[in-house]
Amino acid sequence: MSSYDVIVIGAGPGGYVSAIRCAQLGMKVAVVEGRETLGGTCLNVGCIPSKALLHATHMLHEAEHNFAEMGLKGKAPSVDWKQMISYKEKTVGQNTGGIEFLFKKNKIDWLQGWGSIPEAGKVKVGDEVHDAKNIIIASGSEASVLPGIEVDEKTVVTSTGALTLPKVPKSLVVIGAGVIGLELGSVYARLGAEVTVIEYLDAITPGMDAEIARQFQKMLTKQGLKFTLGAAVQGVEVKNNKATVSYVVRKDESEHTITADTVLVATGRKPYTTGLGIDALGVALTERGQIKTDASYATNVPGIYAIGDTIEGPMLAHKAEDEGMAVAEVIAGQKPHVNYGVIPGVIYTHPEVSNVGETEETLKAAGRAYKVGKFPFLGNARAKANFAGDGFVKLLVDAQTDRILGAHIIGPMAGDLIHEICVAMEFGAAAEDIARTCHAHPTYSEAVREAALACGDGAIHV
Ligand SMILES: Cc1cc2nc3c(=O)[nH]c(=O)nc-3n(C[C@H](O)[C@H](O)[C@H](O)COP(=O)(O)OP(=O)(O)OC[C@H]3O[C@@H](n4cnc5c(N)ncnc54)[C@H](O)[C@@H]3O)c2cc1C
């Protein structure tokens, strides 16, 4: 048995970042992790492996569609799926190994195994009970599957199974048009699978600015993905290694079926707190099963904190990381602050889609007067040269003060471009502040500046 200032349960982006920050602030820290490798969902079966497959298949798409135009002649590459999976796994290994290195560097103990909290101040791992002045729950989330659907991770898979399919399916049905479904759907569409996405709502990517969502759907349709929107999935039946999805189209209540080699259930995620013993401890939950915390990430049980996917807010790695740093600083007696109004979201398809802050819909609902500044990537020289002229940057600013309220980008490197706007928003900047900042030419960033100019006297290159 050992004694720690802090024991963190879960080594995902929330947990490992909080542990490192605690160590940096002089605390004695241990992390309990039941997986064989560190890094949580994100590094093992989430952000990192999905981005590796998105990268590899985007390269294939470029070779098939744009190389000849640039004078790069020759046969398009063929797909060695085993090698692609091994590239993905190597990438995961480099990243999870990196966290192990960081733990050693920061003298953080990794208590291997599944942990529980028998009482406040104690964490049990296997047969050992460790003392902890503070406990941080960072146990993450798991796929949330519709009732009536049985996942076997072979024919009917969650994202975890979809990242390790033994071969590329000829047909794939994706249930749910959210970020994970569209990213993995894109991967398999690029590899030649016939991909059909079924979504309950009438638009893809719920919560996203509606204009961007419509444009995004058009682009994905051009890439071969098919969409059935406004359809309620009733169940999935597996026979002879094929899965048949039955669904009802909501507007006319007509019943349909579609059969595919693989079905990916991508209908969201829910907090994972199984086995922690928080019920017995009386840790309060929200109606949606998230751990309730105050602004300092404290639960209702003294000495127990919770962060990341286990609590409210967007289920994103960088949100978990920010909370990880903040909770460590809280425990150290500091007064950190996470600005939930400036948390970017990114979809790593091609083109990428990113957003931060308000949408036109949320501004209208709040009755706020706003202006829109838009600039298409077709007017951006770099984008045109790189076959990336589809899409646009859209800034939403306060009609009176010009203060930036939100931004939405669909286009090349949208996931990187958004951060200039995030920083501007953190500083309470106006669109004019971006418009008057010199941007290097030729870069995609110029499109952001042009959208800012469009909020004032006008963009130049349209
Ligand atoms: C396919 C996919 C792609 C994604 N892509 C992105 C992306 O591109 N960008 C992004 O921001 N987010 C992405 N996400 C979401 C992101 O992975 C999560 O928001 C993030 O991992 C949450 O971090 P966390 O630290 O809260 O929990 P997790 O990363 O889920 O880590 C929790 C860890 O706790 C461990 N654990 C749980 N219970 C116990 C216990 N009792 N004892 C010991 N260990 C325990 C688990 O094994 C796990 O390793 C993606 C998710 C998926 C599934």
Taken in order of first residue, the domains within the chain and their CATH numbers are: 3-143+270-338 (3.50.50.60), 156-267 (3.50.50.60), 343-453 (3.30.390.30)
Clarify whether 256 is annotated catalytic.
Answer: no
The whole-angstrom separation of Cα 50 and Cα 393 is: 25
- Does residue 1 surpass a pLDDT of 80? no
Determine the pLDDT at residue 148: 87
The whole-angstrom separation of Cα 217 and Cα 309 is: 27
Cα(163) to centroid(ligand 1), Å? 15
Q: Is the CB of 393 under 6 A from ligand 1?
A: no
The strand pair at 29-33 and 109-112 is best described as: parallel
Token duo for residue 450: 């042009």
55, 61, 65, 441: the catalytic one is: 441
The whole-angstrom separation of Cα 150 and Cα 222 is: 32
Residue type, 325: M
Backbone angles phi, psi at 60, to 5 degrees: -60, -45
- Does residue 76 surpass a pLDDT of 80? yes
Ligand 1 atom at shortest distance from the alpha carbon of 307: 26
Q: Is the CB of 49 under 6 A from ligand 1?
A: no
Per-residue confidence at 50, pLDDT binned at 50, 70, 90?
A: very high
Of 47, 160, 174, the residue with max ligand 1 atoms within 8 A of its CB, to mutate for a pocket test, comes to 47
95: closest CA among 141, 44, 57, 53? 44
The structure tokens 């006297």 sit at: 457
Q: Is the CB of 5 under 6 A from ligand 1?
A: no
CB 414 within 8 A of CB 391: yes
CA torsion angle 17 22 28 32 (round to 10): -30
Give the number of other CB atoms < 10 A from CB of residue 71.
Answer: 6
Per-residue confidence at 75, pLDDT binned at 50, 70, 90?
A: confident
Give the number of other CB atoms < 10 A from CB of residue 364.
Answer: 11
pLDDT in tens, 305-359: 999 999 999 999 999 999 999 999 999 999 999 999 999 999 999 999 999 999 9
Residue located nearest, by CA, to atom 9 of ligand 1: 47
Cα(316) to centroid(ligand 1), Å? 8
Q: Would the pTM of this model clear 0.85, i.e. be above it?
A: yes
Q: Is the CB of 39 under 6 A from ligand 1?
A: no
Backbone angles phi, psi at 197, to 5 degrees: -105, 125
Q: Which residues have C-beta within 8 Å of that of residue 283, sequence separation ≥ 6?
A: 291, 292, 299, 300, 301, 304, 306
Cα(11) to centroid(ligand 1), Å? 8
Q: Is the CB of 126 under 6 A from ligand 1?
A: no
31: closest CA among 84, 106, 94, 143? 106
Q: Is the CB of 181 under 6 A from ligand 1?
A: no
Cα(82) to centroid(ligand 1), Å? 25
Q: Is the CB of 34 under 6 A from ligand 1?
A: yes
Cα(46) to centroid(ligand 1), Å? 7
- Does residue 202 surpass a pLDDT of 80? yes
Residue type, 248: V
The structure tokens 């682009």 sit at: 219
Q: Is the CB of 309 under 6 A from ligand 1?
A: yes
Ligand 1 atom at shortest distance from the alpha carbon of 17: 25
Q: Is the CB of 317 under 6 A from ligand 1?
A: yes
Q: Is the CB of 46 under 6 A from ligand 1?
A: yes
Cα(42) to centroid(ligand 1), Å? 5
pLDDT in tens, 389-441: 999 999 999 999 999 999 999 999 999 999 999 999 999 999 999 999 999 99
Ligand 1 atom at shortest distance from the alpha carbon of 348: 8
Of 41, 92, 187, the residue with max ligand 1 atoms within 8 A of its CB, to mutate for a pocket test, comes to 41
Token duo for residue 181: 């479904």
- Does residue 183 surpass a pLDDT of 80? yes
